[in-house]
Every structure is written in C-alpha cells, then in structure tokens.
Amino acid sequence: MNAFIDTNILLAFYSFDKEYLEKLIKVLDLAKDKKITIYLTEQVIDEFNKNREERLKKGLELIKEMMNPKKVSLSSKDFSQMREIDVNINRIEELSKQLEKEINKRIEDETLPSDIIIHDIFLKSNIIDFKKYPTVIRQAKIRHYRGMPPGSSSYIGDEINWEFLLCGCPQGEDLYLITADTDYCSDIDKSKIHPFLRKEWELLKHSKIHYYYGSISKFLNDQFSAKIPENVIQQEIQASGQIQKEIKYYQSSPSFLIPMLAGITYAPTQDTWTTPSGDVYAFDEFGRPIQLKKSQWPWSSNKVE
C-alpha cells in the first residue's frame, strides 16, 4: 500500500497532544513492517521546513497568553485570596519564563514530540526529488498555465507535487493521497478527488488513486482499524485546512502573477511568454519569472549563445 502525506497534514501534528500523537506512531509501525510505503516529495519537505516555525510561533503565542499571570489579578486588594495570588504572581512569571525557554530550546533542537514523529516519517519515506526527475518544474509550469488541476493560485507547489507523484510512484500500484488542499478535490464533493486527476492517474499509472481530505486519522481508521474518535478526525481536518490556507498565503508571490495578466501569450514549448507591451519573460532554474533581453529571445536572430 502506497500513501502520499501532504505538508498541511504534517504541520497539523503540532496541533495535537501526546495521546493523539501516539496513535500516529502507528504510521511508523506500518512503514517499518512494510505494510505501507510512504511517498514524500522534495517539495513537501521544503514546504514543511519553511512553514514549521510559523506554525510553532502561533502555538507559542497561545501558551504565553494562557500563562499570563496578570489575567488572574483583580483591582481590589480586599480579598484574602487576592493577596495570596499576589504573593505567587512572581513564581508564576518565573515558571512561565522557564517554560518558554524550554519550549524554545526544543523548537530549535527539533525535539518536540511532533518533530520526532515527523523526522521518523521522513526517514521511513521514499523521497521523490528533483535530481531524479529534473523536468518536473517545467511539466508543472506547463500544467499551471494550461489551467489544469491541481492548483488555483500563483504558487505552483501543488502542480510540482502532482508531477512528482506521476513520475515517482510505481506503475500499477494504487496510491492513497492524504491532503487538506482543496485544489485536489472534486468541486461537488470535497471528500472525492477531482475527476480530472482521477482519470489522469488511471490513464498514466494503470491503477487507482484514493483521496483522504484533511485527515490521516480517517485513513488509519478505514485501512487499519485505528479507532481514532470522530471528534479528533474533525479537529484534524479543521487544523490541517487552516494550515493549508496559511501555506498558500505565505508562499504566494506577486512575481508569479505576471503571466496571468490579460493579453499574455504563453509558448510552453519555449517556456516563455510575451506581455501586451512586448516584454518577453522566461523562467530561471528555480522556476522564477525573469525578463529577457532582446538578444535572449529564443526567436531572435541576434541571440547570444
């Protein structure tokens, strides 16, 4: 059994307590026993590393707010209980600083319980990378500018992941795709994969693709009888969905909007496009739009080799 776990699902691990995380260790046990093969892409790992601190920052802010001793203080000093609270305020502040210091250290050292599980998942996964499939970015760009799913924003991470999966997953074997990204799902029923992607997968891979929206817990329940409660599944779907929105927001860049302006002519065979003003753009090796000089135009007689 093959499974792909998206970035939003991995980052959602930071939203749950130790008891829940212990259930997710089942994924590792299944991988160790070779009952499941986890496929990740280089894109997913890069997205995870880029967004991890932003996700943990929100958790730290919540902890600081909860541990603020001033929230329990009152304006009146006439109550004996209030005087007792005042005596312990300094101790609470001291413990809060110690806790914050310890959490920051574990964040820096990447030794939070979620970190340990995620790193183990990385180690047990088959990583599909750019070195083995160097044409993936070009294929993703062509998919993006043709307007084919997945992907609906200026950021092309979804397209890169999908092209990676088409290239790197074995022929004739089903894939379980676990993500909170709605760009993969049907417009009518988000519990199902988009019909375009389903048909493309079946045509090219000669196998089935199974879609799990927002929850690795539901996947474990359905496939391995994990017995994770429904309320936890709904909590995970909500958390991973919010994370996906944040990922798309932070990774969108105005530079990617250039080809979407009205009147642009795109030439996929040359990886270039022309604006109404006559400027010509292409992609650099990292997939970023750059304006070409006239001597660099692919059709220019004065092209400099």
Distance CA 92, CA 98 (A): 10
Distance CA 10, CA 48 (A): 8
Query: Phi and psi dihedrals of 266, rounded to 5?
Result: -110, 130
* Span 83-105, pLDDT tens digits: 666 667 777 777 778 888 888 89
* Span 132-180, pLDDT tens digits: 998 898 899 899 988 899 987 778 899 999 999 999 999 999 999 999 9
Residue 303: the pLDDT is 42
Tokens 């009147």, residue located: 263
Length of the chain in terms of residues written = 305
Residue 300: the pLDDT is 52
DSSP string computed for 20-67:
HHHHHHHHHHHHHTTS-EEEEEHHHHHHHHHHHHHHHHHHHHHHHHHT
Distance CA 53, CA 48 (A): 9
Phi-psi region of 169 (alpha: psi -120 to 50; beta: other; left: phi over 0): beta
Phi-psi region of 207 (alpha: psi -120 to 50; beta: other; left: phi over 0): beta
Residue 225: the pLDDT is 82
Exposure pattern of 64-83 as b/e (b: 16+ CB <10 Å)? eeeeebeeeeeeeeeeeeee
Query: Phi and psi dihedrals of 289, rounded to 5?
Result: -70, 135
The pLDDT of 76-81, averaged and rounded, is 58
Residue 259: the pLDDT is 37
Phi-psi region of 255 (alpha: psi -120 to 50; beta: other; left: phi over 0): alpha
Pairing of strands 289-291, 209-213: unpaired
Pairing of strands 2-5, 37-41: parallel
* Span 208-255, pLDDT tens digits: 999 999 888 899 899 988 788 788 788 888 888 887 777 765 454 433
pTM of the model: 0.74
* Span 26-56, pLDDT tens digits: 888 888 888 999 999 999 999 999 999 988 8
Tokens 């798309």, residue located: 248
* Span 242-283, pLDDT tens digits: 877 777 654 544 333 333 333 334 344 445 555 545 566 665
The H or E element containing residue 261 is none
Structure tokens at 275: 């604006």
Distance CA 220, CA 227 (A): 8
Residue 277: the pLDDT is 57
Is the model's pLDDT at 192 over the cut of 90?
A: yes
Residue 97 CA from chain centroid, whole number: 31
Structure tokens at 25: 């260790």
Residue 71: the pLDDT is 53
Residue 304: the pLDDT is 41
Burial of residue 292, with CB atoms counted within 10 A of its CB: 0-12 exposed, 13-18 middle, 19 or more buried:
middle
Residue 227: the pLDDT is 81
| Closest by CA position to 182, among listed 229, 144, 149, 216 | 149
Is the model's pLDDT at 301 over the cut of 60?
A: no
Residue 113 CA from chain centroid, whole number: 19
Is the model's pLDDT at 198 over the cut of 60?
A: yes
Distance CA 164, CA 16 (A): 29
Residue 256: the pLDDT is 38
Distance CA 251, CA 249 (A): 6
Residue 163: the pLDDT is 95
The pLDDT of 67-81, averaged and rounded, is 56
pLDDT tier at 58 (50, 70, 90 boundaries)? confident
Residue 279: the pLDDT is 61
CB 191 within 8 A of CB 77: no
Is the model's pLDDT at 201 over the cut of 90?
A: yes
CB 10 within 8 A of CB 44: yes
